[in-house]
Structure 1
Amino acid sequence: MKELELLLDHYWVVKDDDKDVFYRVKDSIPEFKSFLNEKLGYGIIINQYLIKLEKIPGSAESFMGIQEFNHPREYVLLCLLLMFLEDRSRDEQFVLSEITEFIAGNNIGKEKIDWTQYSHRKHFIKVLRFAQTLGLMKVNDGDDQKFAYHDDAEVLYESTGLSRYFVRHFTADIMGFANYLDMENAEWGDLNADRGVIRRQRVYRKLLMEPVVYSQGTEDVDYDYIKKQRGLMEADFSKYLEYSLHVHKNGAMLVVPAEKNIQDGFPNTKAICDITLLLVAQIRESLSEKKLQINPAGGITLSRVAFDEQVAVLKEKTGNNWSKEFREMSPVGLAEKLVAYLEEFKMLRQLYDGREIEILPLAGKLMGSYPEAVTKGSGEN
């Protein structure tokens, strides 16, 4: 994997994790620094401990949260943990009760953390595991999993000193921000967001950070830029990342060579990815049989009931080849999983509070099937 890809694919590169990789990435930065500065507007943090590329998206999307988190409270707890770690120097030790006492005495928002509640403790364990995985802190003695069942459990931790580099630094005072749009706009100040360098960097970021950039119509300045600057953008992404740029009437995307094996790409080795490919192939078959129609935006609109029926039919036909988790899952439960997964990759969106489903154009570029020997061996038609 190229050094630039390492910076893009990982939150940061830590020297203590792999010195050879750290110095290899550090030495290679001059080769792509101009691309980062001019085309993406990204800065790089380099010090004796880590190298971090400030990966700012072109626009906020729902799938851009921390994948391990599924409740707002976990983000609150992470912020409080970062506040605690801010005053801890590198290699400084502390125990779990010090953290929980600090959090109990500090609130973010209206909700107060109550350690007597099992759900609060479970959420915090998830946050602690995330912090350890990222390298913000490490366990010296004990098991924080016990905290789920005993609020007086103790664990000895050690600060790595990396937490101070975790949060993005804003040039404006964020205390006056009312929503995420204020954070997006703060970077550009009073400049015209639809022209010049701002538009260029926003479009490059969108292509790099999103599965697909859809056209929003004739007035879409970002998609107009992609169409007009396609050759230049294609050359940039090919030169620095070996990615190819695909531009269609309704959407544009970067296609990563299969051998790159980046994190969170599509397709991947997850079982739900296989099921997704089978589902979109089945939907395309329904389209060819005139059971479904393409809408003016290039997608397919169907009721949630009809979508659930598609999933049930797919499970009946191919479910014997799936992993145990999905074989035993109800069709309704599987449909919920697939809706969430397809939304993450911008292949689907829900309309009218979920009563209708729109299969988006990206899904039309992908499909999968089992080899004939597999389907015959499982006794399927």
Structure 2
Amino acid sequence: MKELELLLDHYWVVKDDDKDVFYRVKDSIPEFKSFLNEKLGYGIIINQYLIKLEKIPGSAESFMGIQEFSHPMEYVLLCLLLMFLEDRSRDEQFVLSEITEFIAGNNIGKEKIDWTQYSHRKHFIKVLRFAQTLGLMKVNDGDDQKFAYHDDAEVLYESTGLSRYFVRHFTADIMDFANYLDMENAEWGDLNADRGVIRRQRVYRKLLMEPVVYSQGTEDVDYDYIKKQRGLMEADFSKYLEYSLHVHKNGAMLVVPAEKNIQDGFPNTKAICDITLLFVAQIRESLSEKKLQINPAGGITLSRVAFDEQVAVLKEKTGNNWSKEFREMSPVGLAEKLVAYLEEFKMLRQLYDGREIEILPLAGKLMGSYPEAVTKGSGEN
């Protein structure tokens, strides 16, 4: 169902952005509401401004952060910006200096915000751009990019009123939480998390929100549920999303038809994705030549030095066909990029503070190669 995919693939559907889409999604909700409530435990916020599906993951993963952010301070600044917007009504105007003064007077976190520091201003510009992209606020006059170079730069903004729906509502006081695990468990309270509806909804969420769900061994109750309820789950995902469920010895995943072109899927059109497909093909070649071995968990363990060597070989063999950014990148820099990208899709994990690399089973699911005409044209043998 396209409307369900819209809710899953976007943070929310805003009426002002596209009224036709808004009403189409709203009218279609009864068709899949039972699936969301019973199998995923997801609620839907519907009002005159937006429709938002509360997408809660089955478990917290490092790749689930805001992709535009790269530093903890940016999350702190976002929270402070949301606090500022909380008291602003829809269509109310305000200037940048009002926000910066509010943040300076309401500091949270370990590091004090200092607007005289260029790095702090750059972090805040990222937050402002994110808020504008999501529709929390909009610029009426000025350019907030100037704030990076002049801490007295002014911009006129307008509140959209959507910020009050940005943060998920918790059933418990989050000030009592000690870590992210408390946040995960708050939804269920004292109920047994390994049985009944809790386990079912957690497993459905994992399959939907994660690239792959790996088996953690014979005591893994979630993977046991996937194996036993495979037929029912496959029917649900096929009916409501047209996704197919693949279950293997070491992992299970949903496979999305290529024509759906969802955000942040794999594979995609990014240059780093092409390089990843070439890299895993090279790893499979090394396996076939007995240069590498599969471990009992279905992965491949190698030292970071050996991983970097594999990347250097790949760059030497196929780098002429890459985009300018990656052609000019050093092998060490490329290795860092690949590690981060493979980790994001649960195809790799770092061990012993990065001294060893484990290439995980999902990496063997897909691989890529250039057409023969391309490799010949680049002067390769």
TM-score w.r.t. the length of structure 1 is: 1.00
Q: Which position in structure 2 is the counterpart of 1:20?
A: 20
Q: Cα deviations across residues 107-149 of structure 1 (Å, max 9, x unaligned)?
A: 1122210000000000000000000000000000000000000
1:346 equivalent in alignment to 2:346: yes
Aligned length: 381
Cα offset, 1:275, TM superposition: 0.1
CA distance in 2, matches of 1:117, 1:365: 46
Q: Which position in structure 2 is the counterpart of 1:108?
A: 108
RMSD: 0.5
Cα offset, 1:370, TM superposition: 0.3
Cα offset, 1:380, TM superposition: 1.2
CA distance in 1, matches of 2:368, 2:101: 52
Q: Which position in structure 1 is the counterpart of 2:327?
A: 327
CA distance in 2, matches of 1:209, 1:151: 40
CA distance in 2, matches of 1:68, 1:169: 23
Paired residue secondary structure (1:318): helix
CA distance in 1, matches of 2:110, 2:302: 40
Cα offset, 1:215, TM superposition: 0.1
Q: Which position in structure 2 is the counterpart of 1:144?
A: 144
Q: Cα deviations across residues 249-282 of structure 1 (Å, max 9, x unaligned)?
A: 0000000000000000000000000000000000
Q: Which position in structure 2 is the counterpart of 1:39?
A: 39
Structure 1 stretches of 4+ with a deviation exceeding 3 A read none
Q: Cα deviations across residues 188-237 of structure 1 (Å, max 9, x unaligned)?
A: 00000000000000000000000000000000000000000000000000
Q: How does 1:41-60 map to 2 (within 5 A)?
A: 41-60=41-60
CA distance in 2, matches of 1:301, 1:192: 35
CA distance in 2, matches of 1:46, 1:104: 35
Q: Point out the more displaced range, 98-107 or 109-118.
A: 109-118
Paired residue secondary structure (1:366): coil
Q: Cα deviations across residues 33-68 of structure 1 (Å, max 9, x unaligned)?
A: 000000000000000000000000000000000000
Q: Which position in structure 1 is the counterpart of 2:254?
A: 254
CA distance in 2, matches of 1:110, 1:176: 18
Q: Cα deviations across residues 60-119 of structure 1 (Å, max 9, x unaligned)?
A: 000000000000000000000000000000000000000000000011122210000000
CA distance in 2, matches of 1:110, 1:264: 32
Give identity over the alignment, percent. 99
CA distance in 1, matches of 2:285, 2:193: 42
Paired residue secondary structure (1:238): helix
Paired residue secondary structure (2:297): coil
Paired residue secondary structure (2:158): strand
CA distance in 1, matches of 2:317, 2:109: 49
TM-score w.r.t. the length of structure 2 is: 1.00
CA distance in 2, matches of 1:154, 1:109: 26
CA distance in 2, matches of 1:251, 1:222: 11
CA distance in 2, matches of 1:238, 1:302: 38
Cα offset, 1:311, TM superposition: 0.3
Structure 1 runs not aligned, ≥5 long: none
CA distance in 2, matches of 1:317, 1:87: 58
Q: Which position in structure 2 is the counterpart of 1:296?
A: 296
CA distance in 1, matches of 2:275, 2:350: 19
Q: Cα deviations across residues 278-321 of structure 1 (Å, max 9, x unaligned)?
A: 00000000000000000000000000000000000000000000
CA distance in 1, matches of 2:345, 2:110: 33
